[in-house]
A and B are shown apart, each in its own frame.
Chain A
Amino acid sequence: MSTTVTPAPKKVNRIGLEVIQYKGSKTTLCAGCGHNSVSERIVECFYDLGIQPWSVAKFSGIGCSSKSPAYFLGLSHGFNSVHGRMPSVATGAMLANRTLLGLGVTGDGDTASIGLGQFMHLQRRNLPFIYIIENNGVYGLTKGQFSATADIGSKQKTGGVNEAPPFDLCALALQWGATFVARSFSGDKKQLQAILKAAISHKGLAVIDVISPCVTFNDHEGSTKSYTYVRDHEEAMHELDFVPSYEDIAVEIDEGTTREVTMHDGSKLLIKKLAADRYPGTKIEALTTLQEAETAGVVLTGVFYVEPEKDTLMDQLNMVDEPLGTLPESRVRPGQAVLDQVMEELR
């Protein structure tokens, strides 16, 4: 008796792509680096949601974290720019083609020091964009100097102690106008996935501060950004679930424990409370929560704030719907009559 082995059908997502088509080249980051986990989550989320890879554009600055766009979404265009100034590059690109789904990955050095100004202005403009900070409290690529997010008292591998107070990037983002603000941990797979998916569905700028330990320079005893420290001090504010808009299922929620946030594209973020009543609310509430967490020495994670419908830069500029970059000549070069008119005015 002969048997024909039919290979198991390949697993594909709703647009017929396999997960491998969402991967990038092999990572060159250290084994165990938190940034690699973030890359994996990005691959999973874009695959799960069935997003067309060529509709995505990836951006980064300089750092180990900023290298990572090479390691996911290999079928998407990517731009590894200069240190701290990815926001401006992304802004230009998104203006050139507003139909792109923009995704930026940066580090705490890239964002909180050299790039602080651009980070602020990005939020002021509410660019439709996902901005992920892989936050390890150090400059990985230049071998372990403290960054501006290092906590007071945190120890360097070589023994130095950080004395300067840290920037809380979520608190700052709230004040500067980001319309989606969340914190997660590279080691918290489920939460990070839900946050990423919600960010992908968000209309304006989504800022995600992901604590992402540097195993080589900041994972030792005395560091406040080590895996051990973060595991011991993390407190998730809530449990998150994401229901994409195309999944036409009625979700039953327990009004007593769960709230839902409807994102701009109709997707839903389900937020189930854990110990305390911590749902995304007003900015003031979010800032208070962050302040309390800092005082308590807790690494608070979850979604702090969502403003799903706020106007974006493209709304403010009243731009046409099509990509500006590829408008035909007939729409970008005025006719002879216009030139004649201006010449007449100057006569």
Chain B
Amino acid sequence: MSTSVLPTDSARAATLPPPVINDFCIQVATANGSGSQTSNNVMMRGIFQMGIPVSGKNMFPSNIQGLPTWFTIRASKHGYVGRKKEVDVLVAMNPETAKEDVAKLDAGAVVIYDEPLGLNQQRSDLHFYPVPYDKLVGPVCPEAKLRKLVRNMIYTGVVAWVLSIEMEEIHQALFRQFGAKKKKAAELNWGACQAGYDYAAKTFTKTDPFKVERMNATAGKIIVEGNQAAALGCVFAGVTVIGWYPITPSSSLIEYTIGFLKRFRNDPETGKATYAVVQAEDELAAVGMVLGAGWAGARSMTSSSGPGISLMSEFVGLGYYTEIPGVIFDVQRVGPSTGLPTRTAQGDLMSTALLSHGDKKHPMLIPSSPEECFEMAMAAFDLAERYQTPVFVMLDLDLGMNSWMADPFKYPTKPIDRGKVLSAADLDRLGGFARYKDVDGDGVGYRTLAGTPHSQAAYFTRGSGHNEKAQYSEREEDYVNNMDRLTHKFEHMRGALPAPAVDIRQGAKIGLVAVGTSDYAIGESRDQLRAEHGIETSYLRLKAYPFSDELRKFIADHDRVYVIEQNRDGQLLGLMKLDYTGEEISKLRSIRYYGGLPLDARTVTADLIRQEGK
């Protein structure tokens, strides 16, 4: 009979805690390389298909096999998809971490574990469901060498029973996951899943309060990773040349792009590629290719993370001065070299805005959702060509590599903007051009592309030492003029970048400012502040650097403005300080998180309350 226990069971049924519906966090603890990803995705999709908002986050080590990995699935009827600190349902598959994982749980949580681990001895305030995986896997998987993988699918079935995830949805999710080509594998896994479910149904009595119930909050939605969304954006932006070098968490952005390009961008008649992707020897070469290609007229891009972006520094400075379009994705991760390369951070904001030596500033677009990854990828190419400068798109590991619910992406309504490029016919009409002359008042000159069939098309591209006509010059006036025009161009960009998302609340004295994935924790934290502390806040989420003028107004309209970010040094705050005066700066406060995990609402709420002295 039931082995699921809180003190003594039959009496308990009467005193069951009130049900907690569609509001919990499942954590699956495994070792990486054990193939649990499919089981987790199936579980997540099953919940999603029942109409309940979900998000999936993978916390994985920098290693290929054997180190601990945690996958969390959060279901939230409120639509909260940020990280939740508290785990409600632990699936303990990794003997290495099981004790510690169990110790961390709040009272009342569920533990589904491998029976021989005997975890139920450890605490008496949890709901334990022991599963004899090794006994169950044998009959459903005769082939011994597949058992290690199939074993994981058993917990999917157990969880489905415990949480009342409908097995029809699990079935659909599973077969979809394996695709039409892997029918046999799907059957095998489905068998395991069912064995888990049947075992649970026959053996356990439900004692915990967590369960799912059908909702209608995911109809029409998709589940997608940020990198995948950005990749799709690049393809629809018409990217033509890519140079890249592998690095987690950025690689999948390029790999998704390559996948889409191969499917959708080969010429229908000749089968030939309308794009070129080169895996470069390093990031120095990757960004060199981007600049060369942008110079010669391509929509070029690369993607990397902090270490690679650092290497690109000199070239990016050259791109700034030579005024060459190019799009650079930075999927941010923690710190240099080994350490926490598979953990998330917003740690490159300052260094990217000011990447390279000498005077320079670079525009950054900062998406917080897959929809924005898609849209901003497209916007970045237009901006890069319109303003003739390298443009950065700043994702982070959380956004890029985790699974997010999103609305289906909207097909672009505007045509591609190729910026100011003169053709041979234009040159005939104009009788020549000055490459770096501000003709239109936006600080952006006209350019020509190599290969333009005209005797007046050519100009010589070099770093900082040039006059308006792109002739070599070391004259003070020429240098200063050029620098001032570049400043003007940067200022002009402010108005052309995506506007911030602003939510002003009547009477709110406190304003919050953030970028990117901090958004999810902040949305939830604002509800906590209101419900638990009676504090109403306004919120401005910046989507780009240079910052919109709306930020200035937002600061003016509030007594205290908390700048919330995922790095130690307050980099977003630092960039704001470069723009603002003493009075504005005196209103700014800072909330920072830098533990390598996605920011969670409790951290924000607690720090804000502390600083408010409440």
Q: Is B590 an interface residue when CB atoms closer than 8 A count as contact?
A: no
Complex: A266 Cα to B614 Cα, angstroms: 84
Question: What residues of A have a CB within 8 angstroms of the CB of B411 in the complex?
Answer: 336, 339
- How many whole Å from B54's CB to the nearest CB in chain A? 14
Taking CB atoms and an 8 Å cut-off, the chain A residues in 41-86 that contact chain B are 52-55, 57, 59, 69-70, 74-82, 85
Q: Which residue of A lies closest to B449 (CB)?
A: A325
Tell me which of B158-166, B295-303, B525-533 binds A.
B295-303
A interface residues, how many (CB within 8 angstroms): 61
Total A-B Cβ pairs within 8 A: 225
Asked if A320 contacts B293 (CB within 8 A), the reply is no
Is A338 an interface position by the 8 A CB rule? Answer: yes
CB–CB A92/B300 < 8 A: yes
The residues in B between 199 and 216 inclusive whose CB is less than 8 angstroms from any CB of A are: none
Interface 9-residue window, one of B118-126, B185-193, B457-465: B457-465
The answer to the question of B453 belonging to the interface, with a C-beta cut-off of 8 Å to chain A, is yes
Tell me the smallest distance from the CB of A59 to a CB of chain B, in Å. Answer: 8
Are the C-beta atoms of B298 and A54 separated by less than 8 Å? no
| Inter-subunit contact B237/A100 (CB<8 Å) | no
Q: Is there an interface contact between B222 and A343, defined as CB atoms closer than 8 Å? A: yes
Q: Does B51 contact A (CB under 8 A)?
A: no
Report B472 CB to chain A, min CB distance, Å: 7
Given A92-B289, A323-B451, answer yes or no on A317-B458 (Cβ-Cβ < 8 Å): no
Known A-B contacts A85-B288, A317-B276, A319-B273; the reply to A75 vs B451 at CB < 8 A is: no
Alpha-carbon distance A240/B37, docked complex (angstroms): 64
Contact with B along A84-97 (1 / 0, CB 8 A): 01011111111111
What 0/1 readout, one digit per residue, does chain B (488-509) give for beta carbons within 8 Å of chain A?
0000000000000000000000
Point out the residue from B265, B275, B288 that lies within 8 Å of A118, measured CB to CB. B288
Find out whether the CB atom of B296 lies under 8 angstroms from the CB atom of A100. yes
Contacts of B453 in A (CB 8 A): 52, 54-55
Known: A53-B458, A88-B289. A82 touches B314 (CB 8 A): yes
- In the bound complex, residues from chain A placing their C-beta under 8 Å from that of B287 are 88
Cβ < 8 Å to A, chain B residues 279-299: 280-282, 284-299
> Would you call B8 an interface residue if the criterion is a C-beta within 8 Å of the partner chain's C-beta atoms?
no
Residues 247-284 of chain B: 1 if any A CB is under 8 Å from the residue's CB, otherwise 0? 00000000000001000110100111111111011101
Q: Which chain B residues lie closer than 8 Å to A346 at the CB level?
A: 222-224, 408
Does the CB pair A118–B285 fall under 8 Å? yes
Which residues of chain A are within 8 angstroms of B571 by Cβ–Cβ distance? none
- Which single residue of chain A is at the shortest CB-CB distance from B463? A80
Say whether B243 faces chain A, with CB atoms less than 8 Å apart. yes
* Minimum CB–CB distance for B476 against chain A, Å: 19
Interface string of A215-257 (1 = CB under 8 A from B): 0000000000000000000000000000000000000000000
Determine how close the nearest CB of chain B comes to the CB of A342; give it in whole angstroms: 6
A347 at the interface (CB under 8 A from B): yes
Q: Are A96 and B461 in contact (CB under 8 A)?
A: no
User: Cβ of A78 and Cβ of B274 under 8 Å apart?
Assistant: no
| Cα(A263)–Cα(B453), bound, Å | 26
Query: Are B298 and A95 in contact, with the CB atoms below 8 A?
Result: yes
CA distance A154 to B289 in the complex (A): 37
B90 within 8 A of A: no
Segment at the B interface, from A29-37, A284-292, A327-335: A327-335
On chain A, the residues within 8 Å of B463 by CB distance are 80
Task: Given A319-B276, A327-B274, answer yes or no on A333-B450 (Cβ-Cβ < 8 Å).
Answer: no
Known: A77-B450, A97-B297, A332-B274; 13 extra A-B contacts, CB below 8 A, are A57-B296, A78-B461, A79-B462, A81-B318, A89-B289, A92-B292, A92-B295, A93-B293, A96-B300, A97-B451, A117-B282, A320-B267, A325-B240
**19 A-B contacts (beta carbon < 8 Å):** A53-B455, A54-B454, A54-B457, A74-B458, A76-B458, A77-B460, A80-B461, A89-B288, A91-B292, A92-B300, A93-B296, A96-B241, A96-B296, A317-B276, A320-B272, A324-B241, A325-B298, A325-B449, A332-B238
